[in-house]
């Protein structure tokens, strides 16, 4: 990244200090840009969320560029096996490190699981130390800075007040499925293993965390998610035991399950003059495959590269929008297709899956193609990877 002199850097306002907004502010500060980062939540509130993220190699490269990867080393939990199973057809595909692209194999993981709290602690600590960042946390919308800025970035989430104030409409599809997340202690999982289980009511992801704990992302009809979230601990673990792979048993619930609606959403435009939408302010996809945060962080990578090479202004905003649309569309459509293909009992689709999964299990090139799209992004498939 090319650094600009601090005394001549134009002012950039980033609205929203979640993982995406904070990472973007830090990346811009690394270039010497003067950044104001605002959020209605305080620092403790920003760190308090109980959830985990799947980190792919595209995000790993960005964190390395920003000198964050090594500092997160103690809290990143790698997984070296991804066990994909389809309850409807009985098919199974096992992805391993040999299915990664050669440049990614040396990092000895298909992906990593990262807890929200240590991630936000590190990002906020780095932001506080940066001489190029002004933090405005704990400000409600009425207290947000209204002074004109050379460049404004909205990273304030899927209900983005900034996007609404700009009059940008969205295209969206509300799934009948909801999403239930919980942290549990499991036994019977092989070390380094993660699961993606396709079931007729929706996919179930089991992601390894530290000390034998796991993040469960359980998709099902929304009312089922709400009912399960209200169960007593023992009853919830009993319900979970019925959907886990054979030999895997839940022992302890570590937090209260939380249920969320699922939506595919894409803003009709990612720009508004010399301003842009980043992360979930501009798009959302189904959580199957763990693409959400990685897709948001590819927004960060694209925008910071453009700012470094072209500066800020309407032209940069327009180019950012054009560059991000193909990735957002491809991932959104791919995750939607996976849900539609596997979350049903239609005889023709079950028969198709009975043919598809054995072919995938037997074909190394197909597995490498799928894993490359998942870990590097669909636009990197067949293209050289950066160092």
Three-state SS at 272 = coil
pLDDT at 50: 85
pLDDT at 202: 93
Span 363-370, average pLDDT: 95
Handedness of CA 93, 98, 103, 109 (dihedral sign): positive
Query: CB 94: neighbour CB atoms within 10 A?
Result: 13
How much of the chain exceeds pLDDT 70, in percent? Answer: 95
d(CA 94, CA 357): 10
By C-alpha distance, which of 163, 161, 147, 164 is closest to 36?
Answer: 147
**Contact indicator for 369, 381 with CB cutoff of 8 Å:** yes
Can you tell me which residue has the tokens 């301003």? 275
Span 227-243, average pLDDT: 96
Three-state SS at 357 = helix
Query: CB 169: neighbour CB atoms within 10 A?
Result: 10
Q: Is residue 384's pLDDT more than 90?
A: no
CA angle 81, 190, 331 (to 5 degrees): 30
How many separate domains does the chain show?
1
Bridge partners for 170 per DSSP: 267
pLDDT at 147: 61
Structure tokens of 248? 């895997």
- 307-316 pLDDT, tens per residue? 999 988 899 9
Span 259-281, average pLDDT: 95
- 271-295 pLDDT, tens per residue? 999 999 999 999 999 989 889 999 9
How much of the chain exceeds pLDDT 90, in percent? Answer: 86
Q: Is residue 145's pLDDT more than 70?
A: no
Phi, psi at 360, each rounded to 5°: -65, -40
d(CA 354, CA 348): 10
- 195-217 pLDDT, tens per residue? 999 999 999 999 999 888 999 99
Pairing of strands 151-154, 11-15: parallel
Q: Is residue 165's pLDDT more than 70?
A: yes
d(CA 199, CA 268): 32
Rg (CA), the chain: 21
Structure tokens of 270? 């990612």
Flag whether 178 is in a domain: no
d(CA 293, CA 283): 11
Q: Is residue 172's pLDDT more than 90?
A: yes
Flag whether 126 is in a domain: yes
Span 52-66, average pLDDT: 96
d(CA 37, CA 25): 7
Flag whether 292 is in a domain: yes
Span 95-115, average pLDDT: 95
- DSSP secondary structure, 149-193, as one string: -SEEEE-S-TT-HHHHHTT--EEEEEEEEEEEEEEEEEESPPTTE
pLDDT at 317: 94
Flag whether 194 is in a domain: no
Three-state SS at 221 = strand
* Residue range(s) defining the domain that contains residue 106: 6-171+263-380
Structure tokens of 321? 């929008």
- 7-22 pLDDT, tens per residue? 444 489 999 999 999 9
Bridge partners for 371 per DSSP: none
Span 251-258, average pLDDT: 93
Span 167-188, average pLDDT: 93
d(CA 206, CA 186): 10
**Contact indicator for 75, 312 with CB cutoff of 8 Å:** no
Q: What CATH number is attached to the domain comprising 350? A: 3.50.50.60
Flag whether 179 is in a domain: no
CA angle 233, 260, 370 (to 5 degrees): 105
Q: Is residue 194's pLDDT more than 90?
A: yes
Phi, psi at 135, each rounded to 5°: -95, 130
Flag whether 34 is in a domain: yes
Flag whether 222 is in a domain: no
Average pLDDT, the chain: 92
Q: Is residue 149's pLDDT more than 90?
A: no
d(CA 152, CA 161): 13
Residue 77 C-alpha from the chain's centroid: 16
pTM: 0.92
By C-alpha distance, which of 163, 153, 119 is closest to 29?
Answer: 153
Q: Is residue 1's pLDDT more than 60?
A: no
By C-alpha distance, which of 111, 88, 81, 80 is closest to 356?
Answer: 88
pLDDT at 4: 38
Flag whether 144 is in a domain: yes
């Amino acid at each position: 990244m090319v650094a600009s002199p601090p005394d001549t850097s134009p002012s950039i306002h980033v609205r929203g200090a979640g993982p995406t907004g904070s990472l973007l502010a830090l990346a811009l500060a690394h270039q010497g840009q003067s950044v104001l980062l605002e959020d209605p939540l305080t620092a403790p509130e920003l760190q308090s969320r109980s959830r985990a993220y799947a980190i792919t190699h595209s995000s790993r490269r960005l964190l390395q560029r920003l000198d964050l990867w090594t500092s997160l080393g103690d809290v990143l939990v790698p997984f070296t096996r991804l066990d994909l199973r389809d309850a409807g057809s009985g098919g199974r595909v096992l992805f391993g490190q040999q299915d990664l692209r050669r440049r990614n194999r040396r990092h000895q993981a298909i992906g990593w699981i990262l807890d929200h709290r240590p991630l936000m602690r590190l990002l906020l600590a780095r932001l506080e130390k940066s001489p190029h960042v002004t933090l405005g946390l704990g400000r409600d919308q009425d207290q947000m800075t209204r002074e004109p800025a050379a460049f404004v970035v909205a990273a304030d989430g899927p209900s983005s007040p900034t996007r609404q104030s700009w009059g940008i409409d969205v295209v969206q599809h509300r799934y009948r499925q909801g999403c239930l997340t919980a942290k549990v202690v499991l036994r019977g999982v092989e070390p380094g293993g993660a699961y993606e289980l396709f079931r007729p009511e929706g996919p179930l992801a089991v992601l390894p965390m530290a000390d034998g704990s796991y993040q469960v992302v359980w998709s099902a009809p929304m009312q089922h998610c709400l009912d399960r979230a209200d169960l007593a601990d023992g009853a919830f673990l009993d319900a979970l035991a019925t959907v886990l792979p054979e030999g895997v048993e839940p022992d302890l619930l570590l937090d209260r399950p939380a249920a969320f609606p699922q939506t595919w959403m894409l803003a009709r435009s990612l720009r508004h003059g010399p301003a842009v939408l980043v992360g979930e302010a501009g798009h959302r996809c189904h959580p199957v495959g763990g693409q959400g945060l990685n897709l948001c962080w590819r927004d960060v990578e694209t925008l910071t590269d453009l700012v470094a090479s072209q500066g800020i202004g309407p032209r940069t905003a327009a180019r950012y929008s054009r560059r991000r649309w193909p990735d957002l569309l491809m991932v959104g459509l791919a995750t939607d297709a996976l849900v539609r293909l596997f979350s049903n009992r239609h005889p023709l689709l079950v028969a198709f899956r009975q043919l598809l999964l054995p072919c995938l299990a037997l074909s190394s090139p197909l597995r490498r193609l799928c894993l490359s799209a998942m870990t590097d992004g669909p636009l990197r498939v067949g293209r050289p990877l950066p160092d």
